[in-house]
Structure 1
Amino acid sequence: MAAIAAHKLQIVRMLVETAPDSALRSLELALASVGSVGGLAQVRGLVEDETTDRFVRNNVLAPIVPMCAVRGPGQISFSPRVLPFVWKALKATAPRRVEEAAAKCNPWDLEQGTPEVFDHLCRLAAQGLRDPQQDAFDATRGLGETEELIHCLEISHIVREALPKLSEWVSRMSGERAAAARLAYRDACVIREDSGARLFDMLAAHLPEDWRILRVISAVMDRPNDRYLASSEVSSFGERVLADIDASINLIRDFDLDKGVKLSREAAMAAQRVSLQVTEFEQSVNIAKDGPWGRRLAKYKQQIAQAVELRMSTADRELSEALPTKPISILGKKGGKGVAKLSAPPDEALVRRATAILVFIEHLRPCATQSGYGSTRAKTLEKLNNRLDQYIEDVLYAARTGEGGDPALAQQYLDIAAGFIAHTRDDKTAEIVRRRAAAAIAA
């Protein structure tokens, strides 16, 4: 491929500079095997330069990077364009410091701790945003939330120092770690009285599960009671967790089986998350039964159990519709299990619904006992497995002998039943069913 003309290369450069990080990584991988000459080599050079530049930028602005994205209601967030705009402004106003940061942004320097120039550049960014005479920051100011961004940059050095300790703070808090968290909180409040809550929000943005910041808040405030916390400047953190629990309960109650296993798995993951959130809440906050959050938490614990048990109660019906049966005789009772009905092909919609509810029940295992519906889940699985065992034996007989239905249909239903039993028991049992089915068909 011939070299790209200068004006076209400039267009490519603009596209590369504005590409999301994920797209940039894909481009880098796609162009990895390109040679050293030609137009594609030029594009690869642009991509590599931009990747390197973003690596430096994201290290320098690390405290605010995860906040430049869509976050939950009430959480501090900025436009994704804040990062490139601030970085461009810093390049224009402090080019030597940016070059120094790039030189320091290597593994051996970073292992020695955060280079001072990183924090200095964040301070320069805050000063530039505050000074209307600095035109280089006009684009960033035009995105809005300027004051909040300035306040975040002002405490970025505190956040940066806390980030390496954050995983320890939320995994296993100790007296020494609690003291370090309190010190960080105090330092933030010295800069601005309202920056304590801002510090927690910035740290939460760096957590895979932001609600775990409750553990840090608890350590800083020495496990406060819910009345105090609900009326404090950090009450929004507890309110967000409770709102998330409420949303999860609604998801479990309302998810549509017709939409398949993806949504049912999300509902089960929501149940797991609620279990963890309730535990975290009770450990981090001294909950009073008649307190503002204690009453709500007790109500949610009842509601989650009721919602899950209600969904599990539909599993037997969904299974019986996906694997239809017929009465053994005309005297068979209505609702009796009967024997496998192999007169029509499986209904894909009914199979999808049954699979969805079984996947939901399967993924409740980690939280069922702790959340109070472990016994119901065990009884439900026992009932489902009894039905599946009997159904599989009936269909295997039909597959071997040709009596009671079409062997080809029997094979289809056996494969479906094996898929079901993988969720109610395990993959090993499902594989045994498939091997028995293959042997029955071959006989």
Structure 2
Amino acid sequence: MVALSDRKIEIVRTLVQSAPDKIVGGLRAALQEATGDTVLASVRQLVEAEAQDRALRNAIFAPIAPLCVGDGKSAAGVTFPAQALALIWRGVKASAPAQIQAAVRAQAAAAAAEAAEQGHRPADPGAAYNAVVATARAALDDSEQREFRAAAELCDAARPGGAAAFAAGLDIAPIVRRAIPRLHDWTTHSGGEVGAAARLAYKDSVAISPDAGPLFFEMLAGQLDPPWLVLRIISAVMDKPNERYLADSELSGFPERVLDAIDGSLKAIGRMDLDGGPETGRATGRLAELVTQQTFEVETWIELSRDHGWGKRLHEQKLSLASLVEGRLKEAEKLVAAALPMESSGFGRRRSSGPKLDAAPSPRDVGRALTALHFAHEVRLCANYGGFSAAHAKITEKLAAAIEGYVEEVLDHARTGDVPDLMLARDHLYVAADLIGLVRDEKATELVRRRAASTCASQEPPHPGEAVVLDA
């Protein structure tokens, strides 16, 4: 197959250049094997060149690039249109090619020094990068250059004063660039030289632009994963402020954003789709863990009062989380009972019950029970701080006892031949094995599977750890 024509290559180039970084990265990975004079090889070369160009751009504009996402209209913090950064990059490449080449050489020298592992620090390309940023900053004020004018218009369209905020970000970019390698220390240690260094960087930023304080922390947050770790740096700079002082400052949006995110997570936990399967259960459980982490951050780095404001709101959120999780755990009891059905026999007041083994396990009931137990399993590590440790321990132990009792009864019926079909008994035991593993451990699952295979030996059992496949 021949390569694409020049006209088609230009069409593909335009499409690739307008795609988000994530898409370009995905294309690059997908086309790694494309070689030779093929259509895919032509596209691969184009994508590779675009990816390398963006890597250089993102390195040069590293302090502000993480804030350039989507259309730049996010209400959760300061963001700028991704296209604005692309336009500025295009403009600076056209207007300052010598500076771009200097940045390329500096980047290559730093990479070579790092690869050589000579025991000394690699060359820092920061000065070359900052020179390009300074050129872009100056060009933003020059309405004669089309790309920069278009970028400013996009920023202003995304939010009032967007272009001025972007320009301020470029102004303090060198300070943020110096701070980036130190962020790990700033977020893992407190006090002493660490706090002093963070305070100095903040003062340097506001010295350049008095209104740059919040933007400085926004740019730092963009470098952090998760972004709300920036609360630690804010606390260090402000010497662990009390709630009233921080709430009245221009930085009040940062803790409020975390509290809003907690509210969103609590709503998602309350709406967990039991038919969503194990991954839904795990994902919802991770939300509960996230809430405990975020509440810990706010409580640790800000002096709060439980009687009002953020402290009161956070206390209510913790109570809500505990209530939601306990509700989900109690719901799991009913779902497990439905997945391992029992039937009653006998007459009068004294009636006995036993496993209902005359039909295959219900896929829907089993799926819902697995979703609930995957949730319960995921939240176990955050139960103590989340305030639901006692409820979690009590209910999971009760579930384990119920499942183990069910297993013993099924095995007893299978040994005595008191089952209509050994294979149905085996299927119910495999369901119980999957469930017990989530409230005990994997060894419990393996034990039940081995006992089921030994007792119901008329058919080869699935491999240990293999999920039971149930017909709908």
Specify if TM > 0.5. Answer: yes
Q: Which residue of 1 aligns with 2:134?
A: 123
Separation in 1 of the partners of 2:306 and 2:48?
A: 58
Separation in 2 of the partners of 1:332 and 1:153?
A: 81
Separation in 1 of the partners of 2:229 and 2:409?
A: 50
Note the alpha carbon deviations across 1:111-161, whole angstroms, 9 max, x for none: 322431211211222222222122231332342332221121111111111
Task: Name the SS of the counterpart of 1:442 in structure 2.
Answer: coil
List alignment gaps of at least 5 residues for structure 1.
none
Q: Which residue of 2 aligns with 1:397?
A: 412
Separation in 1 of the partners of 2:274 and 2:350?
A: 29
AA paired with 2:407?
Answer: I
Q: Which residue of 1 aligns with 2:44?
A: 44
Shift of 1:42: 3.2
Measured on the aligned residues, the alpha-carbon RMSD in Å equals: 2.1
Aligned pairs for 1:295-374 (under 5 A) are 295-331=312-348, 338-374=353-389
Separation in 2 of the partners of 1:22 and 1:231?
A: 38
Shift of 1:73: 2.9
Q: Which residue of 2 aligns with 1:10?
A: 10
Q: Relative to structure 2, which stretch is displaced further, 85-94 or 128-137?
A: 128-137
- The verdict on how the C-alpha distance between 1:29 and 1:269 changes in structure 2, with shifts beyond 3 A counting, is closer
AA paired with 1:125?
Answer: A
Matched, 1:382 2:382: no
AA paired with 2:43?
Answer: V
Task: Name the SS of the counterpart of 1:105 in structure 2.
Answer: helix
Q: Which residue of 1 aligns with 2:237?
A: 220
Q: Which residue of 1 aligns with 2:207?
A: 190
Q: Which residue of 1 aligns with 2:266?
A: 249
Separation in 2 of the partners of 1:352 and 1:332?
A: 34
Matched, 1:165 2:167: no
Note the alpha carbon deviations across 1:308-338, whole angstroms, 9 max, x for none: 112211111111111110125334679x8x3
Task: Name the SS of the counterpart of 1:360 in structure 2.
Answer: helix
Q: Which residue of 1 aligns with 2:118?
A: none
- The verdict on how the C-alpha distance between 1:319 and 1:332 changes in structure 2, with shifts beyond 3 A counting, is farther
**Identity in percent:** 38
Separation in 1 of the partners of 2:264 and 2:34?
A: 48
Matched, 1:113 2:124: yes
Q: Which residue of 2 aligns with 1:77?
A: 79
Q: Which residue of 2 aligns with 1:56?
A: 56
- The verdict on how the C-alpha distance between 1:285 and 1:29 changes in structure 2, with shifts beyond 3 A counting, is closer
Q: Could you tell me whether the CA contact under 8 Å between 1:181 and 1:216 is conserved in 2?
A: yes
Separation in 1 of the partners of 2:419 and 2:224?
A: 58
AA paired with 1:269?
Answer: R
Matched, 1:177 2:179: no
Aligned pairs for 1:126-145 (under 5 A) are 126-144=137-155, 145=162
Aligned pairs for 1:84-103 (under 5 A) are 84-103=86-105
Separation in 2 of the partners of 1:184 and 1:355?
A: 50
Shift of 1:258: 2.4
Q: Could you tell me whether the CA contact under 8 Å between 1:109 and 1:115 is conserved in 2?
A: no
Which TM-score applies when normalising by structure 1? Answer: 0.93
Note the alpha carbon deviations across 1:36-72, whole angstroms, 9 max, x for none: 5455443332222222211111100111221122586
Shift of 1:172: 2.1
Q: Could you tell me whether the CA contact under 8 Å between 1:398 and 1:406 is conserved in 2?
A: no
Q: Which residue of 1 aligns with 2:68?
A: 68
Shift of 1:401: 4.1
Separation in 2 of the partners of 1:385 and 1:205?
A: 44
Shift of 1:303: 1.7
Separation in 1 of the partners of 2:369 and 2:348?
A: 28
- The verdict on how the C-alpha distance between 1:331 and 1:66 changes in structure 2, with shifts beyond 3 A counting, is farther
Matched, 1:233 2:250: yes
- The verdict on how the C-alpha distance between 1:33 and 1:292 changes in structure 2, with shifts beyond 3 A counting, is closer
Q: Could you tell me whether the CA contact under 8 Å between 1:327 and 1:333 is conserved in 2?
A: no
Task: Name the SS of the counterpart of 2:82 in structure 1.
Answer: coil
Shift of 1:262: 2.8
Separation in 2 of the partners of 1:73 and 1:67?
A: 12
AA paired with 2:271?
Answer: D
Q: Which residue of 2 aligns with 1:432?
A: 447
- The verdict on how the C-alpha distance between 1:299 and 1:22 changes in structure 2, with shifts beyond 3 A counting, is closer
- The verdict on how the C-alpha distance between 1:245 and 1:342 changes in structure 2, with shifts beyond 3 A counting, is same
Aligned pairs for 1:199-218 (under 5 A) are 199-218=216-235
Note the alpha carbon deviations across 1:225-261, whole angstroms, 9 max, x for none: 1111111110011111111122222222232312233
The number of residue pairs the alignment matches comes to 441
Shift of 1:291: 4.1
Note the alpha carbon deviations across 1:169-222, whole angstroms, 9 max, x for none: 112224111111001111111122221111111111111111111110000000
AA paired with 1:294?
Answer: G
